[in-house]
Amino acid sequence: MKDQNYHVLIADDHAIVRYGTSFVIKDLLPTGTIREANNFHQALKLLDTNRFDLMVLDINIPGGNNLQMIDVIKLRQPHVKILIFSGYDEQVYALRYLQAGADGYVVKQASEAELRMAIQTLQNNDKYISHSVRQHLLNNMSHKKVISHNPLATLSNREMEIMQQLVMGAAVAEIGATLGLQISTVSTYKSRIFEKLNVSNVVDLVEKVRLYDPSVTSHE
């Protein structure tokens, strides 16, 4: 495999994760080049000044943490392959990010072999999802009515983005500024989230989210 001109950007705020990911990539692509960013703003600066073939992106990265990151990246480099590498539950988030334009999704609890397989899959211009997510999709297709055991799956993409901000302690006005929404719109989404998850305040929301996806309420 020709890799001397293959350029990779790893965007993650944890140095140990960047180190481990770099180790795997260097073994796969000995003569490729790797750049690193510890926040989304730094990643965008690198995207503005360098061409990349692959971007390994953490969802919960400072300055990002929403689906809009994919559009922002693709506007700068439409052909870059984006591999989401996250601690967030793949059953809830993988399809959302793939539908938003990402090319693959791997959880940080995955084995080194799976990370290698994901990178190689993207190099071959294919999409990557894990066997468990693929099986989940097939199971859903085989039933006309699917009852999700995880209430987070009932949230829309926008509701999921706002929920993530709420559990991280962001105020309604701050969320509106981050996502480019009116305060009243954020408040409406907040009410819908509370209704869907059957909670009455942010404290209850955090507890409910922690129950079904602890990674959302903790730093990866």
Q: pLDDT by residue (tens digit) across 115-161?
A: 999 999 999 999 998 887 776 666 655 554 444 567 888 888 888 88
> Do 128 and 163 sit in the same domain of this protein?
no
User: What is the tens place of the pLDDT at every residue in 34-53?
Assistant: 999 999 999 999 999 999 99
Does any domain span residue 70? yes
Structural domain count of the chain: 2
As a whole-number percent, the residues of the chain with pLDDT over 90 amount to 42
Domain boundary among 137, 172, 207: 137
Q: Which pLDDT value is given to residue 137?
A: 63
- The mean per-residue pLDDT over the stretch 83-88 comes to 90
Reported confidence tier of residue 217, pLDDT bands at 50, 70, 90: low
Does any domain span residue 143? no
Q: Which pLDDT value is given to residue 145?
A: 46
Does any domain span residue 145? no
For residue 184, give its domain range.
Answer: 151-217
**CATH code for the domain of 174:** 1.10.10.10
Q: Which pLDDT value is given to residue 122?
A: 94
> Do 131 and 155 sit in the same domain of this protein?
no
CB 129 within 8 A of CB 97: no
> Do 15 and 112 sit in the same domain of this protein?
yes
SS3 56: strand
Closest Cα to residue 77, out of 21, 3, 7?
7
Sign of the torsion formed by the C-alpha atoms of 135, 140, 142 and 146: positive
Flag whether the pTM goes above 0.85.
no
CB 219 within 8 A of CB 108: no
